[in-house]
Structure 1
């Protein structure tokens, strides 16, 4: 998707007019240029993994992670797999989870894998002669507190981000080089992985590429992108037929669960920039974090500057694909989670980096650009440390509750229902059904509990309230779980004990 090789005179004119280094010209880089670009990118990826291992690898599992990993974890009953989810994450963690359900093992594995993925994602951009843009973009994206937090989480958004960056870069390479068969195959692989992780996100990312392929009559680019998307969508539709009553029924169920429709959720996204991880289900997003909003507001400005001054189709493609996904969440999803925009951040980091480099080549703006980047990294470092500690403390409760449940007589096969039941059930190797606030059972016992009792499972309803959170629990026995922390936990067991 990059332009053909311009003449030497055009190079000189462009360099003088726009301050663009000659390394932006497409073609095979010389060895010294390759080393100069690959080594910094490799160092960024290594630091990225090291920070994860130091700060976030010890954090326990969240609800969604427990659902994904439980589908393949050895000895753990699979949690309920709802309509909006796709199977890519469980395939990602399967090499470790099939051997051991250890949370630490999964975290270390994903930390190492994410470092490799970051390197490979931005690697095609070096082949596009991006010079220092690719390593700087990788550093900006990898240094984002959200990236450091989610990189070793069993969640789909980071892997869609890696694949989006790689897929767009490979598409540009395939267009610039007539015989780029490996790049074309890479496009298929990148969008296949992205669509297996999250088909809707992969589709929004691919829209600008598909549109470009149609307008420019580029069958190779069009076929490769659509073929990659088709792999993930095919798996999604087959499962829709087998488990959810067909594709339309699954789309309807997924839309209802994800509050899709015509919305404007940008204010929620701004309030969620420094947490919480989900602005929904009664969770307060808080006020506007001004330091986070500052860099968020600077992204489109600096990205636009980078595209305008460098004037390369590859950067336009990155900008278009990133905005396509970002706008899909702002206007079609009625709530916010900061991880939703990770693929957009990963792509927008490329034109942002080009804009920063352009500013650094001018004496009047270089100090401002360097100071801005330094402030950005300082804000992200503080955020990942502070919020990482908060999430670590919050999720440390689940192992303690699981241990206490074993002491009060819980034994497999077992079934847990209630607050954080999915995370605790994973650690206790129990089947589970999680709820946020509404425990149901206003007139009768919920069907999932009745089914568990019929199977002769050990059944427990866990909550942080001493009072029964639902009418059906009034006749059940409440047992205190002595867990160190701010909250007191309780488990309600059937009136005659568990079968």
Structure 2
């Protein structure tokens, strides 16, 4: 696939070949830093995709490997497979987007937190030190990737430290707060430099998101409708997905509730090992609910990637429940029948996810191809760096053409029409016009229109 809209924004911040696009308040720069070494070496999108596939695969393995001492190898592997089998997980692997990486950081951080509960970690001060360092590092990574999400992830961890005696340890609290501070420092400094402070940046973020507030029904409805795409549903007025392709999503709360009920029942039976198992089920559920809450309750639109951190964490208790189900029957034909039924359900689930992956990959590719065609059309019109592109979809098209982008309205407003009129007198410039939007700036109404073949858009140039 060629690059998408958000990818072009993140990459433009570190690409030495193109001007940086406007970076709005809700964004964080962690994913730009991750891609920076590749972008510095090559302009090849293929090289970038392959590198991110390898890195995200290694991160998937490493994040879930943290859970081996807590759930065992088999259940940990099953949890990783459940998460990796979702179409949005596979599609996000090679993309320059932060949500998958936040999900993996959340899985690792929660696992390190649970492993740090016992005094001395796994029995030695050096092991405890490595565990706490892992906790701080993964929380720092989450904060660098998306600072507000890292805070939502840390809230259940800090609440556990405050309310559960076994976790009431200064070193654990220091690791959580230290990781947040280290990863969030860049975001906080930028808040003061560019937006006038943290409170102002959060307010600007809310405005960009359409006003974050109590959207209880709208957020849940949008999440359900966008379960199988599109990758951004805003405004989300599409029909609900078919039951067969959304049944897993509807059953997920039931499975999680069953896993929690089973863990609580076993926890009441006593025993340190059973209490550890109870925590290994309940804490990821608490963190998943905390990370999902702002996207389900505070926004009136959705995107499948928003819930990736919640899906990753909920895969752990679901895998634990699935592994326990056959064991509830005595050894014999009944146990084998239950195991076979679970395998059949998993196979059906993966076949549905594969179909959705193909559909959404094709949609993403078609959109990116339109951006490339538009950029090629602008180059044929004589636009070359330094140049500026404005209008609908200016950011990804300008990046593909090697130009700067600018907007006078919308979420990425960064200049005025008067300033753009002055810019047109000193460098090549194009105004993108979408007939569906039906707005052309006054300064461009005497310019020459040129149809950008294969896109449905028109470029106006002086």
Distance 1:198 1:471, change over 3 A: closer
Residues in 1 aligned to 2:437 and 2:249: alpha-carbon distance in whole angstroms: 44
Say whether residues 1:267 and 2:225 are aligned partners: no
Say whether residues 1:141 and 2:83 are aligned partners: yes
Q: Is the 8 A contact 2:14 2:32 kept in 1?
A: yes
How far did 1:339 drift? Answer: 0.8
Give the 5 Å matches for 1:446-457: 446-447=417-418, 449-450=420-421, 452-453=423-424, 456-457=426-427
Identify which of 62, 71, 89 aligns with 2:4.
62
How far did 1:61 drift? Answer: 1.4
Identify which of 337, 342, 354 aligns with 1:369.
342
Higher relative contact order (CA 8 A, sep 6+): 2
Distance 1:105 1:332, change over 3 A: same
Deviation track 1:300-319 (CA, whole Å, cap 9, x = no partner) reads 22223333335511121111
Residues in 2 aligned to 1:131 and 1:109: alpha-carbon distance in whole angstroms: 27
Say whether residues 1:308 and 2:261 are aligned partners: yes
Q: Secondary structure at the match of 1:274?
A: coil
Residues in 2 aligned to 1:334 and 1:432: alpha-carbon distance in whole angstroms: 28
Which residue number in structure 2 is paired with residue 465 of structure 1? 435
Identify which of 316, 322, 328 aligns with 2:288.
322
How far did 1:229 drift? Answer: 1.0
Which residue number in structure 2 is paired with residue 51 of structure 1? none
Residues in 1 aligned to 2:22 and 2:416: alpha-carbon distance in whole angstroms: 18
Q: Secondary structure at the match of 2:41?
A: coil
Distance 1:469 1:230, change over 3 A: same
Which residue number in structure 2 is paired with residue 488 of structure 1? 456
Residues in 1 aligned to 2:112 and 2:410: alpha-carbon distance in whole angstroms: 46
Say whether residues 1:209 and 2:157 are aligned partners: yes
Give the 5 Å matches for 1:322-401: 322-361=288-327, 362=329, 363=335, 365-401=338-374
Residues in 1 aligned to 2:54 and 2:26: alpha-carbon distance in whole angstroms: 28
Give the 5 Å matches for 1:85-484: 85-176=27-118, 178=120, 179=125, 180-215=128-163, 216=165, 217-258=168-209, 259-264=211-216, 265-280=219-234, 282=235, 284-310=237-263, 311=266, 312=277, 313-361=279-327, 362=329, 363=335, 365-433=338-406, 446-447=417-418, 449-450=420-421, 452-453=423-424, 456-465=426-435, 469-472=439-442, 473-483=444-454
Residues in 2 aligned to 1:411 and 1:328: alpha-carbon distance in whole angstroms: 42
TM-score normalised by the chain length of structure 2 = 0.87
Structure 2 unaligned residues grouped into runs of 5+ = 267-276, 330-334
CA RMSD of aligned residues (A): 2.3
Residues in 1 aligned to 2:52 and 2:372: alpha-carbon distance in whole angstroms: 21
Distance 1:101 1:191, change over 3 A: same
How far did 1:491 drift? Answer: 0.6
Residues in 1 aligned to 2:203 and 2:410: alpha-carbon distance in whole angstroms: 24
Residues in 2 aligned to 1:467 and 1:109: alpha-carbon distance in whole angstroms: 38
Structure 1 unaligned residues grouped into runs of 5+ = 1-58, 495-499
Residues in 1 aligned to 2:236 and 2:260: alpha-carbon distance in whole angstroms: 38
How far did 1:290 drift? Answer: 1.7
How far did 1:370 drift? Answer: 2.2
How far did 1:435 drift? Answer: 8.3
Q: Is the 8 A contact 2:384 2:402 kept in 1?
A: no
TM-score normalised by the chain length of structure 1 = 0.81
Distance 1:234 1:270, change over 3 A: same
Distance 1:378 1:434, change over 3 A: farther
How far did 1:90 drift? Answer: 0.9
Q: Secondary structure at the match of 2:67?
A: helix
Aligned length: 428
Deviation track 1:89-113 (CA, whole Å, cap 9, x = no partner) reads 1111111112223222221111111
How far did 1:439 drift? Answer: 12
Residues in 2 aligned to 1:197 and 1:438: alpha-carbon distance in whole angstroms: 20
Residues in 2 aligned to 1:119 and 1:277: alpha-carbon distance in whole angstroms: 25
